[in-house]
Structure 1
């Protein structure tokens, strides 16, 4: 198991159980005492857990994982979705990504394609994002023009949120928004965990001619705190082959195109 994957699973274990001892880490993850202590020290340095004598305990931010500790989950599905996103991007258009693990993976694939497809060198493609990590990843791609929406950075998703975004979004046009979400309830809508993220995500949808929700199938029939919009307000939903027939039917019933990667 790679270290990032182990750290992600270790945080989950501590959140679920409230605390952990070094011996439990050793047994559960098959690591040495020194490695177990280093892993707990790393998570404590990130303020994700509180170090205790002989172990660690959850704290108020333990459930608010930074993006790098969540990106390993459902990795195969996310990569399949990301590859499909890259196929959907037309050179010379203006596209947008909000923050999140799926959109981060998708933006990376768009960057790779822009470097290998000569059409991107002929027509400048604009990428609008409120995620500072996505902007950082793509700024090295000369074929892409990067526009960053302003705001206050949020640790969990690296997204910029807040009223500063209202200064730019009403003045720009987005051809296609690729929107990552935390939860999908076809009857109630699409959701994220933070109300500030929900507000800017809704504003991005308003600025976009076409919205493609990108979410792996684990996001269906789950809940999250803040509603972004009704599912019917999106134009398409791109997910992986794990989507069930009932879930697919519910998406289509909402008048939304279903794309399966």
Structure 2
């Protein structure tokens, strides 16, 4: 287990229990207590946790982990979801992409498709994004037209939020918005932990002809602080094979097409 995967596991333990001792964490992760102490010290320095005598307690912001700590979580599922979502894109489209680990996999899958990079006969793809890391992924891997919404960078997600980006998004039209979310529920709709991200995502929804929500099965039926859109605005949900039949049926019952990657 590499350092970021270990830190992610420790933060999840703290989210579940509120506090954890060095001894318990070392036993559960099968590493030495010295390693756990170093991990706790480094996470404490980054204000992700509060160090205590013999252990650590969770900070209130631990639910919204920085993107670099999320990459190890459900990685195989996210790659499959990314490929399935990218398959919905056709040459010449204008596509909206927000930030997150799953949409990063979508961007990588899009960049691998030569039919979206030809630039001939209007086939070149246009991607509108408010995420710096996704813009970088596409710039170094493809020849697509990349439009980046402005704003203030959130270090947790590399997303740009605020009125500068909102002004741009109000002036564009998207064929499809491919949106990663923190939670999606048939009653509550799609949501994000941060209100600034939710606001930018809601603008993409408003400017899109079609909305595709991209979420691994752990996000289904969950809730988050700020709503992005109601469920009746969602055309398609792309998730993984871990989604329960009951969850899938509940989304299909309200008219959402479900794709299992």
TM-score computed with the length of structure 1 as normaliser? 0.89
Q: Answer yes or no: is 1:130 the counterpart of 2:127.
A: no
Identify if the C-alpha distance between structure 1 residues 188 and 50 changes in structure 2 by more than 3 Å, giving closer, same or farther: closer
Q: Give, in whole Å, the separation in 2 of the partners of 1:19 and 1:257.
A: 40
Structure 1 residues 70 and 51, CA gap change in structure 2 (3 angstroms): same
SS at match of 1:210: strand
The answer on whether the counterparts of 2:117 and 2:142 sit within 8 Å (CA) in structure 1 is no
What's 2:176 paired with? Answer: 176
| 3-state SS of 2:200 partner | helix
Counterpart check, 1:220 vs 2:220: yes
| 1:120 and 2:117 matched | yes
Residue 101 (structure 1) aligned with residue 101 (structure 2): yes
Q: Is the 8 A contact 1:85 1:110 kept in 2?
A: no
- Secondary structure at the residue paired with 1:243? coil
Q: Distance in 1 between matches of 2:257 and 2:59?
A: 41
Structure 2 stretches of 5 or more lacking a match?
none
How many residues are treated as equivalent by the alignment?
A: 258
Matched, 1:56 2:53: no
Identify the residue that residue 231 of structure 1 maps to in structure 2. 231
Larger CA deviation: 176-185 vs 150-159 = 150-159
Distance 1:258 1:59, change over 3 A: closer
Map 1:181-200 → 2, pairs under 5 A:
181-200=181-200
Verify the 8 A CA contact 1:25 1:36 in the aligned structure 2.
yes
Matched, 1:253 2:243: no
1:28–1:248 distance in 2 versus 1, CA, 3 Å: closer
Native 8 Å contact 1:47 1:61 kept in 2: no
Q: Is the 8 Å Cα contact of residues 90 and 116 (structure 2) preserved in structure 1? A: no
CA distance in 2, matches of 1:146, 1:43: 35
Alignment CA distance shift 1:127-1:254 (3 Å) = same
Label 1:41 to 1:136 Cα distance change in 2 as closer, same or farther (>3 A). farther
RMSD of the TM alignment (CA)?
2.1
C-alpha deviations, 1:37-87, integer Å up to 9, x for none? 332233223321233455433333333311121232222221211111222
Contact 2:217 2:240 in 1 (8 A): yes
Deviates more, 1:31-40 or 1:101-110: 31-40
- What is residue 5 of structure 1 aligned with on the other side? 5
Distance in 2, Cα, partners of 1:134 & 1:164: 19
The 5 Å alignment of 1:6-85 reads 6-85=6-85
SS in 2 for 1:209: strand
1:136 Cα deviation from its structure 2 partner: 2.3
SS at match of 2:117: helix
Conserved in 2, the CA contact under 8 Å of 1:174 and 1:207?
A: yes
Question: The residue matched to 2:56 in structure 1 has which SS?
Answer: strand
1:120-170 deviation digits (Å, cap 9, x = unpaired): 233322211111221222221341222111112223322211222221112
198-207 or 93-102, which moves further after superposition?
A: 93-102
Work out the CA distance in 1 between the residues paired with 2:210 and 2:15: 38
